[in-house]
Structure 1
Amino acid sequence: MVAKQRTRSGSDAMLFSSWNYKTLILGLVLVIVGFTAMYIENEVQGFISLYVSPIMIMAGYITVIFAIIKHDKRNDDNAE
């Protein structure tokens, strides 16, 4: 079998736009800061461990998922 080789041209579109990468990094930072704040407080019944950190972690996960799922339609118009 002959394997097809894909040629790369200069107009290949990236998988994500710059907005997606920035939002993905923001979500990862929120998750890391949330877990770090929970670790630093080191108290099971503390305010940060019970309320602030879980909200930050969930916001980070939602932001990461949103950054992966959102598709910029302007990139499709430019690619055609």
Structure 2
Amino acid sequence: MASKKHRSSGKNRTMIFSAWNYKMLALGMFLVLAGFLAMYAENEVEGIISLYISPIVIMAGYISVIIAILKHDDGSSAAQSES
């Protein structure tokens, strides 16, 4: 007979990201979207928003997404090593 594989119930699993990481990720995605929408709304190539404000907002969004992905909470690694 074929052997059945038993799966763990997942009670001991910890989340990869904390709530802070998800909030920063959402904030970064919002900033990127807002920057592109502001650039689209102005609809000028040499406008002040398109040249100066939107790129800064978009870069701030990308930086916050990168920080949200790379930041690791020290408490979560201790919880993983115990299980």
- The TM-score bracket by the shorter chain reads 0.7 to 0.9
Q: How many residues align?
A: 79
CA distance in structure 1 between the partners assigned to 2:4 and 2:45 by the alignment? 57
Q: CA RMSD, aligned part only?
A: 1.7
Q: Which residue of 2 aligns with 1:73?
A: 74
Between stretches 46-55 and 7-16, larger displacement belongs to: 7-16
State how far apart, in whole Å, the 2-side matches of 1:49 and 1:7 are. Answer: 52
TM-score by length of 2: 0.85
Unmatched segments (≥5 aa) in structure 2? none
Please give the alpha-carbon distance, in whole angstroms, between the structure 2 residues aligned to 1:63 and 1:13: 23
1:37-73 Cα offsets, whole Å, 9 max, x none, are 0000001000000000000001100110110011001
Question: Normalising to structure 1: TM-score of the pair?
Answer: 0.88
Give the equivalent residue in structure 2 for 1:48: 49
| 1:44–1:6 CA distance, 2 compared to 1 (3 A) | same
Matched, 1:27 2:32: no
Write the distance in 2 (CA, Å) between the matches of 1:51 and 1:28.
Answer: 19
TM-superposed deviation, 1:4: 6.0
Distance 2:6 2:52 in 1: 53
Note the residue ranges of structure 1 that are not aligned, 5 or more in a row: none
